[in-house]
Amino acid sequence: DAGVIQSPRHEVTEMGQEVTLRCKPISGHDYLFWYRQTMMRGLELLIYFNNNVPIDDSGMPEDRFSAKMPNASFSTLKIQPSEPRDSAVYFCASTQVYQETQYFGPGTRLLVL
């Protein structure tokens, strides 16, 4: 299996622009997680899905952030409009209902200027 796939790996954008991050979970996994990692706040869970349905979005910072999972093999995290404080590494992870291990993608490093 190719593992969790994220794109792009790096994104540099200007404040006010829309940013879309993409994730393909491991085939057969029914949970998908979006995390944000910064030096100041460490690893934060933004939102997670079960069978494509959002279960907990309490970590989404504000209305500028939205996440969708239209099918079992694809999810997006969108920031509109982006701000410099959104600069971070964003990780996607997936797992199965009978597993406890979360499998992480390589991350998207976002820099908002």
Partner 1 sequence: AQSVAQPEDQVNVAEGNPLTVKCTYSVSGNPYLFWYVQYPNRGLQFLLKYITGDNLVKGSYGFEAEFNKSQTSFHLKKPSALVSDSALYFCAVRVPAGAGNNRKLIWGLGTSLAVNP
Binding site for partner 1 (CB under 8 A): 4, 31, 33, 42-43, 45, 48, 50, 55-56, 91, 93, 95, 97, 100-107
Q: Nearest distance from residue 55's CB to partner 1, in Å?
A: 6
Q: Which is nearer to partner 1, 19 or 47 (CB)?
A: 47
Instruction: Compute the distance between CA of residue 29 and CA of residue 61 in angstroms, rounded to an integer.
Output: 26
Residue closer to partner 1 (CB basis): 17 or 51? 51
Buried b (16+ CB within 10 A) or exposed e, 76-98: ebebeebeeebbbebbbbbbeee
Smallest distance from partner 1 to CB 81, Å: 27
For residue 45, the minimal CB distance to partner 1 (Å) is 6
Please name the residue that has the structure tokens 């879309």. Answer: 20
Say if residue 52 is exposed, middle or buried (CB neighbours under 10 Å; 0-12, 13-18, 19+): middle
- Return the H-helix or E-strand segment holding 87: none
> Residue 49 CB, nearest distance to partner 1 (Å)?
10
Which C-beta is closer to partner 1: that of 9 or that of 85?
9
